[in-house]
Amino acid sequence: MNRVLDDPDLDVTENHVLVLRNAGPVGAPGMPEWGNLPIPKKLLKQGVRDMVRLCDGRMSGTHYGTCILHISPEAAVGGPLALLQTGDLVKLDVLAGTLDMLVDDAEIARRKAAWVPKAYQYERSFAALYQRHVSQAHEGCDFDFLSGTAIVPDPVIF
């Protein structure tokens, strides 16, 4: 990511939308704090200090700017970011709380039919168990085999 964003020849303006995908619970795995997409260096040199950035992962609360995170379902399981392509128009309406790909339904259906998930990164280990059984961000990133069991109480803070 940094190599691409630091490239002085990167074809990007302040009107583009930056997208980082496969950073969610399954794709990373574990939903690490990868969502802090920096502004490309060439734009920083031009004085650009914010632009729309999209990610299916998360980031620290200390980051800044127009970042839409926890996009779910994530790209790794065929969510909307998996179907988004360079050059597609994206409409963000903060007041309405909407984010839309301005791609016609037939093209989205074609892309969805052609989409193939990547092979899981791990064959065994906790990471393999996690990738195969974790739910999506909007479902709480919990294990499917724990669904319907007792809620875990918050820890006691002294």
157: Cα separation from own chain's centroid: 32
For 128, the token pair is: 């393999």
Which is the catalytic residue, given 60, 72, 135, 147? 60
2-141 — its CATH code? 3.50.30
Residue 128 has pLDDT above 80, yes or no: yes
Active site residue 147: no
The mean predicted confidence, pLDDT, of the chain is 92
- Per-residue pLDDT, 25: 95
Residue 158 has pLDDT above 70, yes or no: no
Q: Where are the alpha helices (DSSP H) in 12-157?
A: 41-45, 80-83, 105-114, 126-133
- Per-residue pLDDT, 1: 87
The reported pTM is 0.86
Q: Where are the alpha helices (DSSP H) in 22-145?
A: 41-45, 80-83, 105-114, 126-133
Q: 3-state DSSP helix/strand/coil percent for the chain, to nearest 5?
A: 25, 10, 65
- Per-residue pLDDT, 79: 96
- Is 158 exposed, middle or buried (CB count within 10 Å of its CB: 0-12, 13-18, 19+)? exposed
Across 6-16, average pLDDT: 95
What are the Cα distances from residue 65, in Å, to 38, 51, 80? 10, 7, 22
Across 5-19, average pLDDT: 94
Contact between 91 and 51 under an 8 Å Cβ cutoff? The reply is no
